[in-house]
Chain A
């Protein structure tokens, strides 16, 4: 059985919009998904991350049954092409296209996870020891929006760009992908005891079969006096 849980919430520093977005889909042999974090200093970044999520969803639908770990770069290449086409067709300026993309594929047959980082974000594998990969570009990520035109000029340009980006691969049955908002929790009620919220969100098995598990954990964390400054998005997948 595969159990998903996901959450995307606005941080306290963003008065109006949650600028994060995400997508996840279970297919016959793989699970694919992505977490997208709009740049706060961009323009309408909530739209950029939503656009990225929707175009990735569309691309996954186009590829459908042929998606596997070996074809993941091809899927991403097509995602970039579709994204570029969409951006041009609605005449977006570069500062309207600034979003990170943390994309992953999980092979259900051999439990292998591959995560590709196009900007800030993190991945956790909940094995015997918690494996953690944080791609921290210090909030100055080399946004796709700046590069799309150039990296689509030739297959070499794409390969170079793709190969230079950080990857995380691991064999696991329990993993999480998150935006960097995960690191922005702060205790706002000093009288409350300290609480290991990262461990709670990513390791704890509280109602893990329930798709609302992460949303409810965030509510509980809030009740324990913690708030997150930046928008936070987490996808957790558990295979039993």
Chain B
């Protein structure tokens, strides 16, 4: 199995059993969401928009092949859900609450990446073709991680060196607000895309709309993942 030099966190993410998937292709979407105290200014808009997005996806034609994993972080990492079919995500429980005392951005991305690659490998070995999209939403720079940004970058570079991942593995960092360090974080971690957005309700909805469109566009069998 390819491990792409990813660390073993020895965490059971509780991913859905690959043998039970009744499709031969999936879209694996990972949401890595900052819940440090500073996100308080937009958390209600994020919660509302994210729930609407999940509802929309549960009703859409994409639902049968969409698997989602949701990870939240402040100075610690909490896996809200490993990869599960979108249908089984409990909307009522999907609420983000600002708390903690720091921002372990690099660790959180590394966690998300590690699980995404491991699950993808398991799926591919059992005959499921995958497209992976990793969405990271944060409003500030890292100040709590145990791992450095270069560990993330090395891992991502290794993943993208594999030919079959080139068009099927995408990463994007959404920088919310006016922190000037988003570009540095994006580049140092090797995340492919950066989108800076305001922290107004309109901007948050726009971001979620973008995520929704990206997932829908990725659902076509032969289309590469694009942002």
Q: Chain A residues in contact with chain B, CB under 8 A? A: 207, 210-212, 215-220, 223
Contact = CB atoms under 8 A, between A and B. Distances in A.
Nearest to A215: B24
A210 B124 contact: no
Q: What 4 A-B pairs have minimum CB-CB distances, sorted nearest first? A: A216-B127, A215-B24, A219-B127, A220-B127
A219 B129 contact: yes
A218 B129 CA distance: 11
Which label, helix, strand, loop or mixed, suits the secondary structure of the A interface? helix
Given A218-B127, A219-B124, 8 more contacts: A210-B19, A212-B22, A212-B23, A216-B24, A216-B128, A218-B24, A223-B124, A223-B127
Contacts of B128: 216, 219
B129 A210 contact: no
Nearest to A223: B124
A234 to B, nearest CB: 13
B22 to A, nearest CB: 5
Q: How large is the interface on B (under 10, 10 to 19, 20 to 34, 35 or more residues)?
A: 10 to 19
17 contacts: A207-B19, A207-B126, A210-B20, A210-B21, A211-B22, A212-B21, A212-B22, A212-B23, A215-B127, A216-B128, A217-B127, A218-B24, A219-B24, A219-B124, A219-B127, A219-B129, A220-B125
B124 A216 contact: no
Nearest to B24: A215
Contacts of A210: 19-22
Interface of B: 19-24, 124-129
Contacts of B23: 212, 215
- From B23, B24, B127, B128, residue with most partner A Cβ within 10 Å: B127
B24 A212 contact: yes
- From B22, B128, B129, residue with most partner A Cβ within 10 Å: B22
Nearest to B129: A219
A220 B19 CA distance: 14
Contacts of A219: 24, 124, 127-129
B26 to A, nearest CB: 11
Nearest to A211: B22
A210 to B, nearest CB: 6
A220 B18 CA distance: 14
B20 to A, nearest CB: 7
Nearest to A214: B24
Contact of B126 (A211, A216, A218): A216
A157 to B, nearest CB: 43
A64 to B, nearest CB: 27
